Amino acid sequence: MTQIHPGAAAPSESVGAGTRRYVLTILVIAYTFNFIDRQILGILVEPIRLELGVGDTAMGLLTGLAFAVFYTLMGIPIARYADRANRRNLIAAAVGIWSLFTAAQGLAQNYWQLLAYRVGVGVGEAGCSPPAHSMLSDYYPANQRATALGIYSLGIPVGILFGFFVGGWMNEWFGWRVAFLVVGIPGIVLALVIRFTVREPERGMSEQRANADPDADQPAIGAVFRYLLGRRSFIHMALGGGISAFVGYGLISWSAAFLARSHGLSSGEIGTWLGLIFGIPGGIGIVLGGRLADHLGERDTRWYLWVVAVALLIAVPAGVGVFLSDSVSAALLFLIIPVILGNFYQATTFAQTQTLVGLRMRSVAAAILLFVINIVGLAFGPSVVGVLSDMLAPHYGLESLRWALLICSMANLWAAFHYWRAGVHFPGDLQRVED
């Protein structure tokens, strides 16, 4: 009989479908708040820039690099702790921390204070996804994992929808400072809900190996790095995911400013349209990508990743239409396609990373993947767009942002190459999985 230590999860036999669905739902809500608090800044770029008197390069630093560096640096040590500690408590603490710093941004009196609070949001959010991925991998078996993580990843588009919608109209009615307070404070309540209602699962429960060796040594971070570097499919997945995120985060961070400058929309209109597009088609893309990957990958494991390569190739010409259209209606209609297809990578990339590693590597493996994705994507995506826009401004004026976004969108071709190569190597790497 398996011995249950004090504070450990209940036996897996007593964990039913209702419990799994509840945990997944709460984690989706947490991830939704994660992206509301992370991406609301995108809709507020123009009013903040004008009030603080800074350029696109400075705002690119605020939306991208300042957040991403601390988010990624803190992610790996936090994930290592999560692989041996109570993941539920860690997620609850993380939600509370980033919510407090989000609300504090509304009190910032200058650019540097806002930058410091933004760093605090990044530190708090580092404690969410790696332990959440690990928990869901213990609740859901491998053949349902991409779907479950796809549903979890719905927090991204839903969070962006609410962030853009609430941020756009709060700014128009009350100013950008109130917008930060409105989205930050409810997260503190959510942190308490997570702490006192979510059930911590046994490690290995979904593989029916729960608590098989509770005293097993946890691999060092360096050992997990070396293990993953020996899997070519992971290397290509991480690079492909990072480049996809480079395009995606650049678009999310600057699309509101693009619509304001090139098409003259108000912040309320922009928040409504972008919220709907990034929220609904974006959510469809994440779930559809996960479901297609599970469906096709069950027949041929290469298609777990080839699905993404095909989607990214189709997204490129639609992206050109977004930025070369003179009509705002045409630009918004074109935007739906790259938003759907650009989200295909998320569910299967995280799911297959979990499948490639052992039980006590899962949180660290997720954090390493997030490190690559966020350094390449979140740190450099918004920042590169901002720098390119300032460089092109002497020649293109207000239209410089349009051309900067168009240039960066071409990187999806490079990302598609990596997902094709990841699919080629994936079957062989699966045969070498070690616990």
Report pLDDT digits (tens) over 323-337.
999 999 999 999 999
Report the CATH number that the domain containing residue 250 is assigned in CATH.
Answer: 1.20.1250.20
pLDDT band at 151 (very low <50, low <70, confident <90, very high): confident
Distance CA 82, CA 191 (A): 17
Which stretch, 5-19, 94-108, 404-418, has highest mean pLDDT?
404-418
What confidence score (pLDDT) does residue 57 get?
79
Average pLDDT over residues 193-209: 76
State pTM to two decimals: 0.73
Distance CA 152, CA 139 (A): 13
Q: Which residue has the tokens 């123009």?
A: 46
Distance CA 99, CA 37 (A): 7
Which two structure tokens, joined as six digits, stand for 236? 């290509």
State how many domains the chain has: 1
What confidence score (pLDDT) does residue 299 get?
87
Of 180-184, 216-220, 348-352, 378-382, minimum mean pLDDT range:
216-220
Q: Which residue range forms the structural domain that includes residue 116?
A: 18-206+219-430
Residue 14 predicted with pLDDT over 60:
no
Which two structure tokens, joined as six digits, stand for 415? 């990302």
What is the full DSSP assignment across 141-180? Answer: -HHHHHHHHHHHTTHHHHHHHHHHHHHHHHHHHH-HHHHH
Distance CA 361, CA 128 (A): 16
Which two structure tokens, joined as six digits, stand for 274? 């972008």
Which residues are CB-contacts of 123 (< 8 A; sequence separation ≥ 6)? 70, 71, 74, 97, 98, 101
CB atoms under 10 Å from CB of 226, counted, come to 11
The share of the chain scoring above pLDDT 90, in percent, equals 30
Residue 3 lies in a domain: no
| Distance set, CA 85 to CA 134, 207, 307 (Å) | 12, 20, 35
Residue 1 lies in a domain: no
What confidence score (pLDDT) does residue 170 get?
82
Which two structure tokens, joined as six digits, stand for 359? 């039980």
pLDDT band at 2 (very low <50, low <70, confident <90, very high): very low
Average pLDDT over residues 255-273: 88
Report pLDDT digits (tens) over 167-191.
888 878 887 888 888 888 888 899 9
Report pLDDT digits (tens) over 24-78.
999 999 999 988 887 787 778 778 888 888 777 787 777 777 777 777 777 778 8
Whether 242 and 148 have beta carbons less than 8 Å apart is answered as: no
Report angle CA 108, 113, 115 to the nearest 5 degrees: 115
Residue 234 lies in a domain: yes
What confidence score (pLDDT) does residue 408 get?
95
Residue 212 lies in a domain: no
pLDDT band at 344 (very low <50, low <70, confident <90, very high): very high
Q: 391, 381, 255: which is closest to 328 by C-alpha?
A: 255
Report pLDDT digits (tens) over 281-320.
988 998 898 889 888 888 888 999 999 999 999 999 999 9
Distance CA 241, CA 368 (A): 12
What confidence score (pLDDT) does residue 13 get?
45
State the Rg of the chain over Cα: 21
Average pLDDT over residues 107-123: 85
What confidence score (pLDDT) does residue 204 get?
64
Distance CA 269, CA 248 (A): 21
Residue 10 lies in a domain: no
Average pLDDT over residues 223-244: 92
Distance CA 180, CA 101 (A): 9
Distance CA 265, CA 362 (A): 44
Average pLDDT over residues 196-225: 68
Residue 8 lies in a domain: no
CB atoms under 10 Å from CB of 217, counted, come to 9
Q: Which residue has the tokens 């938003």?
A: 339
Residue 385 lies in a domain: yes
What confidence score (pLDDT) does residue 198 get?
86
Which residues are CB-contacts of 276 (< 8 A; sequence separation ≥ 6)? 161, 165
Helix (H) or strand (E) holding 269: helix 267-297
Residue 386 predicted with pLDDT over 70:
yes
pLDDT band at 5 (very low <50, low <70, confident <90, very high): very low
Average pLDDT over residues 334-363: 86
Q: 356, 80, 363: which is closest to 232 by C-alpha?
A: 356
Residue 4 lies in a domain: no
